[in-house]
Structure 1
Amino acid sequence: MILTVTPNPSLDRTYEVPSLDRGEVIRATGERMDPGGKGVNVSRAVAAAGQRTVAVLPLGGAPGALVADLLDKQGIEVAPVPVAGATRSNIALAEADGVLTKINAPGPELSEAERELLLETVRRQSGDAAWIACCGSLPRGLAPSWYAELVARTHAAGARIALDTSGPALLEALRERPDVVKPNAEELAGAVGRPLATVGDAVKAAEELRAMGARAVLASLGADGQLLVSDEGAWFGSARVDAVRSNVGAGDSSLAGFLIAGGSGPDALASAVAHGAAAVQLPGSVMPTPGDLDPAAVTVTAEVPADRVLKEPVS
């Protein structure tokens, strides 16, 4: 079982539009409503793969009730933490050329009692978890050190934890040595405080995160592929993608694929790349099923192309 923790979940509405023209009436060609938040997406990807998952998340108001209902219909066990504020609603506009515009609401502010209840719920639900995946931004009311506390408690209980967050919350958590951190290129550059122009730059940045405490770094480099750096070595993975439809949740799908495949080594990286590549070819935040995966399109190598210039460099 993979347990996910999403401190700031959302109700996500995705509209497919021909193009985004400011000040004009835009008629959508397609629409979806999904439970959102990075940890929620990991649970959705795990469930789509036919594996058991439990989602821990604070839920409040009508949007929160709808999120729980949508997750239940997808076969995901929900461990809700009732909160006074309403769960946030987000909007994504997906243009025909693959450009995505997102409007994310701030979400409710959690009280001290709600903060403690969230931690206690994770503890109660984590007994038989192979992995705990903690993902996304922190809501108002949770200090940047909250993830660090959760990592410490998780390790004290003997469980493994994967962390997908950024900024001060990531840096604070590194001191507690999370088993895996999963930044994208922008988050990786932000963590080390310098731009990334090549795959080699990303490798050096990942090694710095390991020096700060991360036991392994799974870095998403957008269209360039993914990078895994751990005690076992470094690997680079990429996949052929015929057409990008939406990248919403693609990184979360990658993390799910990585954890499903054991959470370490080149085989897990290959699974992460396959899941991410499949996700970007699906509409909205639809998560891939095993039938959507194309393992033959994936390449993983220990000969990391350090000199390769990133297609999407981070300045």
Structure 2
Amino acid sequence: MITVITFNPSIDRLYNLDTFQVGFVQRANFVNPTPGGKGLNVAKVIKKLGETPTCLGFIGGFNGAYIEHEIECIGLKNKFTKIDDETRICLNIIDANGVSTEILEKGPTVSKNDIEEFERKLKEVLVNTKVLVASGSLLQGLPKEYYFTIGKICERENIKFILDTSGVSLELALDSNIYLIKPNKDELEALSKRNINSKEDAIDAAKKLLNRGIKNICVSMGKDGMILINEDNIYEVEVPKIEVLNPVGSGDSSIAGFAYGILKEYHIKDCLRLANACGMSNALYMETGYIETDDIETFIKDISIVEYAVN
């Protein structure tokens, strides 16, 4: 089973405008509210791939009730912990040129009792969990090193831990025996404290992070594809060009592909093909965290991977 943690879910409201001008009244051509937050985007794509993940995190208020209703309609397993504070709303404004502007609320605060209830539910679901994905920001009230705590629990229970976050919470989690992280160029620069100007720079920086016990480091290079480095091999991924409609959620969709492939014990190359195909499919649609399996079958054939040994 795959378990997905979204500590800070949201209602993601997407607005499509002809132009986005600050200081002017504007009318949207299209509005689409969906249950979101990075982890829920991951969970929705895993469901489309054919697995039903269990969703944990914190949720509250009218917004939380809406999200619970929507994810249960999708068919996700709901193990969210209810809190008193209101779940956040996040906005994504896309103009006719495809330029995306995001406005993200900070989110609620959790109490000690909320955390204890979450941990009780986590203990229950980990009994049948093979892959655990934790995505997104930590809520106020959670310790900054809480992802490290989750990682050590996964290590003890022999669960493959995929972590997709950034900043201090990622840096503090690095020594927790993580199975896979997927930093982008900026995040890798922050972790390695060096500039990344080429694939060679990215590979060198990732190699140094492997010494901290991370099994796989997957660096997203945007339109230039992806690089995955582990202790044995380096994999350089090239993807075909597509017409991007909405890039938001493509990274989450890639994480979903990884989680599904790891659960099914795919070869690492097949995990990479699936992950990249999921990210590409998501970019074709206005809805965030959405793929079509027909796209996946098409894109996988056009994704090329070069493998070579680590020096």
Q: Give the deviation of 1:3 after TM superposition.
A: 0.6
Kept in 1, the 8 Å contact 2:252–2:289? The answer is no
Alignment of 1:75 onto 2:75: yes
Kept in 2, the 8 Å contact 1:241–1:281? The answer is no
Kept in 2, the 8 Å contact 1:96–1:245? The answer is no
Alignment of 1:273 onto 2:253: no
Q: Give the deviation of 1:286 after TM superposition.
A: 4.3
Structure 1 letter corresponding to 2:268: G
Give the Cα–Cα distance (whole angstroms) in 2 for the partners of residues 116 and 208 of structure 1.
Answer: 36
Any idea what the Cα deviations from partners look like across 1:159-202, whole Å, max 9, x if unmatched? 11100111111111111111111212211111111221111111
Q: Give the deviation of 1:289 after TM superposition.
A: 2.5
Counterpart among 293, 297, 301 of residue 290 in structure 1: 293
- What is the aligned partner in structure 2 of residue 309 from structure 1? none
Q: Give the deviation of 1:269 after TM superposition.
A: 0.8
Aligned residue pairs: how many? 304
Structure 2 letter corresponding to 1:45: V
Query: 1:179–1:99: structure 2 CA closer, same or farther, 3 Å change rule?
Result: same
Give the Cα–Cα distance (whole angstroms) in 2 for the partners of residues 66 and 202 of structure 1.
Answer: 41
Structure 2 letter corresponding to 1:300: I
Q: Which runs of 4+ in 1 moved over 3 A?
A: none
Query: 1:85–1:290: structure 2 CA closer, same or farther, 3 Å change rule?
Result: same
Q: Give the deviation of 1:103 after TM superposition.
A: 0.5
Give the Cα–Cα distance (whole angstroms) in 1 for the partners of residues 208 and 129 of structure 2.
Answer: 29
Give the Cα–Cα distance (whole angstroms) in 2 for the partners of residues 50 and 29 of structure 1.
Answer: 33
Give the Cα–Cα distance (whole angstroms) in 1 for the partners of residues 85 and 189 of structure 2.
Answer: 34
Kept in 2, the 8 Å contact 1:119–1:150? The answer is no
- What is the aligned partner in structure 2 of residue 312 from structure 1? none
Q: Any idea what SS the aligned residue of 2:79 has?
A: strand
Give the Cα–Cα distance (whole angstroms) in 2 for the partners of residues 29 and 11 of structure 1.
Answer: 19
Q: CA RMSD in A?
A: 1.5
Q: Output the TM-score relative to the length of structure 2.
A: 0.94
Q: Which structure 2 residues correspond to residues 27-66 of structure 1 after superposition, within 5 A?
A: 27-66=27-66
Structure 1 letter corresponding to 2:141: G
Structure 2 letter corresponding to 1:265: I
Q: Give the deviation of 1:154 after TM superposition.
A: 1.7
Q: Mark the runs of 5 or more structure 1 residues left unpaired by the alignment.
A: 305-315
Kept in 1, the 8 Å contact 2:253–2:289? The answer is no
- What is the aligned partner in structure 2 of residue 186 from structure 1? 186
Give the Cα–Cα distance (whole angstroms) in 2 for the partners of residues 34 and 193 of structure 1.
Answer: 36
Query: 1:233–1:289: structure 2 CA closer, same or farther, 3 Å change rule?
Result: same
- What is the aligned partner in structure 2 of residue 225 from structure 1? 225
Report % sequence identity. Answer: 28
Q: Which structure 2 residues correspond to residues 1-315 of structure 1 after superposition, within 5 A?
A: 1-262=1-262, 265-293=268-296, 294-302=299-307
Kept in 2, the 8 Å contact 1:55–1:78? The answer is yes
Q: Give the deviation of 1:222 after TM superposition.
A: 1.3
Q: Mark the runs of 5 or more structure 2 residues left unpaired by the alignment.
A: none
Structure 2 letter corresponding to 1:93: I
Q: Give the deviation of 1:303 after TM superposition.
A: 5.4
Kept in 2, the 8 Å contact 1:240–1:277? The answer is no
Any idea what the Cα deviations from partners look like across 1:224-259, whole Å, max 9, x if unmatched? 111111123110112113201111110010011112
Kept in 2, the 8 Å contact 1:18–1:95? The answer is yes
Q: Output the TM-score relative to the length of structure 1.
A: 0.92
Q: Give the deviation of 1:262 after TM superposition.
A: 1.9
Q: Any idea what SS the aligned residue of 1:292 has?
A: helix
